[in-house]
Amino acid sequence: MFRRQILKSIGVAGLALATGVSAACAQEVVKVGLILPMTGPSASTGRQIEAGARLWMAQNGSTVAGKKIELIIKDDTGAADQSKRLATELVVNDKVAFLGGFGLTPLALSVGPVATQAKVPAVIMAAGTSTIVASSPYFVRTSFTLPQNTAPMAQWSAANGIKTVVTLVSDYGPGLDSEKAFKAEFEAKGGKVLESLRAPLMNPEFAAFLQKAKDLKPDALFLFVPSGQGASLMKQVGERELAKSGIKIIGTGDVTDDDQLNGMGDALIGMITSHNYSAAHDSPENKAYVAAFLKANNNMRPNFMSVGGFDGMAAIYKALEKTKGDTDGTKLVEAMKGLAWVSPRGPMSIDPATRDVTQNVYVREVKKVDGQLYNVEFATIANVKGSN
Ligand code: PHB
């Protein structure tokens, strides 16, 4: 009886000691779980974001406010049910303090309820549909929104002699956002959208849509497809000879993505787009970023997704500095509200009212610089809000 009691008390003490020790250890490491498409049609998004996040850590160290940052990368292959399952595993098993990544809108939306329930901040580093951030109080965005990136293209078009436009977008959240923003802004400035065409997101075949656009004879064709699809779209645009028939090709910078642009060919020279990031952005911060990124990634050129990852880690580090290492999720989201810093893309901040990204949007022209194709910025619309 006596012996049993001793054993029991040792057992309880031992257990208390063990949990005490593990809690202390757990406090020292802050885990950041990035859920990204590392394989499948959006793999370039995962590759770029991971490289951006790792570059931030290489340049800023892996300790913040006395805590060691551990990055965990999970491949959702671009499937929303996988994103949700991985988010749950990261929260329950790995006890991550932050979720992040989300390469496409449906993937981000599937993680929202997990972040809300677990009270874990989820940093959107890619997805661009405007409404995503409002769907969970734990979402914060460091990427961009399509209304933000599109409106300047409509303004430029109206101011540069374009009277009629056909829009062609991918048929899901960001495409519909882009279509709507273009039409609203362009028609408010006196232009006319003749037709709004939508191509399927998966395995798109653009030929029939491009023929329809050509037959309508607009002054310009406005395009949006997500990162990774620009090259195949522009190849088909070239084959249909739209530009030769006098139709100006315009779009968001997702189409002239730095990840693919240099392989798209000289036919793109002169194409105008608007976007939040160009590898050719002329600032000391970006020159240093591009040089370090090329060196760390076997000469892969950084695109707009990479800065979503780089700045996503910046937001995470800055939030932890503000909470002095406290990993309470609600406090971390509060700490991210109102953060402002100079990114390789230019000045950016997290709007305290919406948790969405405020940043400059640039109008750019595809040009050959030192033998390579770049989006060369020529106009800046400062401090554009991501959502209202
Ligand atoms: C999105 O799915 O929200 C998305 C993905 C890639 C882009 C833009 C938007 O380039």
Q: Are strands 346-350 and 340-343 parallel, antiparallel or unpaired?
A: antiparallel
Q: Is residue 125 domain-shared with residue 242, that is, in the same domain? A: no
**185: enclosing H helix or E strand:** helix 173-188
Q: Is residue 228 domain-shared with residue 370, that is, in the same domain? A: yes
Write out residues with Cβ below 6 Å of ligand 1.
104-105, 126-129, 173-174, 226-227, 254
| CATH number, domain with residue 125 | 3.40.50.2300
pLDDT in tens, 142-153: 999 999 999 999
* pLDDT at 203 (0 to 100): 87
Q: Is residue 241 domain-shared with residue 306, that is, in the same domain? A: no
Q: Is 55 helix (H, G, I), strand (E, B) or coil?
A: helix
* Total-model pTM: 0.93
Whether residue 280 lies inside any domain: the answer is no
Mutating to test ligand 1, I would choose from 35, 104, 143 the residue with most ligand atoms within 8 A of its C-beta, which is 104
Distance 143 CA to ligand 1 centre (A): 9
Give the domain range for residue 224.
147-275+362-385
Q: Is residue 294 domain-shared with residue 202, that is, in the same domain? A: no
Residues forming a β-bridge with 381: 361
Whether residue 211 lies inside any domain: the answer is yes
Q: Is the dihedral of CA 53, 54, 57, 59 positive or negative?
A: negative
Cα 172 to Cα 204: distance, rounded to the nearest angstrom:
12
pLDDT in tens, 103-134: 999 999 999 999 999 999 999 999 999 999 99
* pLDDT at 226 (0 to 100): 98
Average pLDDT of the segment spanning 258-273: 97
pLDDT in tens, 152-190: 999 999 999 999 999 999 999 999 999 999 999 999 999
Burial class (CB within 10 angstroms; exposed 0-12, middle 13-18, buried 19+) of 223: buried
Number of independent structural domains in the chain: 2
Q: Is residue 233 domain-shared with residue 372, that is, in the same domain? A: yes
Q: What is the 3-state secondary structure (H, E, C) of 299-351?
A: CCCCCHHHHHHHHHHHHHHHHHHHCCCCCCHHHHHHHHCCCEEEECCEEEEEC
Q: Is residue 152 domain-shared with residue 209, that is, in the same domain? A: yes
User: Confidence band (pLDDT; 50, 70, 90) for 13?
Assistant: very low
Q: Is 240 helix (H, G, I), strand (E, B) or coil?
A: coil
